[in-house]
Amino acid sequence: MRVAFLGLGIMGHSMATNLVKAGHEVTVWNRTPGKIVEGAAIAPTPAAAAQGAEVVWMCVADTDAVEQVLFGADGVEQSLTQGMIVADSSTISPFSTVKFAERVRSKGADYVDAPMTGSKIGAANGTLIFMVGGNEASIDRIGPLFAAMGKKYFRMGDVGKGQATKLAMNLQIALIFEGFAEALTLATKLGVDPQKLLALIDATMVKSGVVEYKGPFILHRDFTPNFPLRLMHKDILLALEAAKEARVKLPGLETVEEIYEMATEDGNRDLDYAATLTLLEKWAGVQVKSEAA
């Protein structure tokens, strides 16, 4: 398929690369010039990238960035044609997504929201899992692109439901990790080896994918950004915003958001979100690491 891929960040670069490897004709654009994807053409603007494309795929930072890419100066809107599909893998407001879709559809194109999970490693390995909202026929049509970038996709309903699902998923990740980080901090302060605690967790009902994935990084003090803290904080704020509009109370997430705010002020915004642990460590006067590290 002829694909315009817009946004070559931590996730987008690998996603575009995998589309090229799968044999698709890819043109890329990135807000900051200089990034390339081997085998892909480079366009100077989103509008230029979208010219003649069957599918425009976005993976940018936030709601404002998506709006700018679509409808700003030199935006995709200028190049929309009948039958084109715009797919968005950014994590943004579900309410804004519905508005963006209406405007895109008014030009004869269709819109699919397709945020994903799997982190930097999943993007590199082509094993992402997508949460998708939109017209079933359009989703089926871009199935080969999902297959090139991931291992599975779930249609969650109409446009906006993919984004709503992603916020619910990241809410759980943030809460699970916070519980894990607090448990590690307390155990360390009480003299328990974190490596032994991890082995116990793995053997019990407390086991989770979040713990299994993040545990080894923590024990080796590796906070390289697989999922930057600033982006998780953005998603937490989006979830709280959506909850407020839907009149849903999220007291646990409200507390975790305060942790992220303080961790940001502490200089950790560009580290992995696991670096929220360092704030707990500072308060406790301990450092969580493997005794063998």
Alpha carbon distance 289, 146 (integer Å): 38
| Domains of the chain from N-terminus onward | 2-158 (3.40.50.720), 165-284 (1.10.1040.10)
Catalytic residues: 166
pLDDT of residue 158: 98
pLDDT of residue 67: 98
What integer is the mean pLDDT of 66-80?
98
Residue 293 confidence class, pLDDT cut points 50, 70, 90? low
pLDDT in tens, 24-62: 999 999 999 999 999 999 999 999 999 999 999 999 999
Residue 214 near residue 274, CB atoms below 8 Å: yes
What integer is the mean pLDDT of 275-280?
98
What integer is the mean pLDDT of 259-285?
98
pLDDT in tens, 111-150: 999 999 999 999 999 999 999 999 999 999 999 999 999 9
pLDDT in tens, 86-104: 999 999 999 999 999 999 9
pLDDT of residue 141: 98
Residue 188 confidence class, pLDDT cut points 50, 70, 90? very high
Mean pLDDT score of the chain, rounded to an integer? Answer: 97
pLDDT in tens, 189-237: 999 999 999 999 999 999 999 999 999 999 999 999 999 999 999 999 9
Question: Helix or strand or coil: residue 286?
Answer: coil
Residue 282 confidence class, pLDDT cut points 50, 70, 90? very high
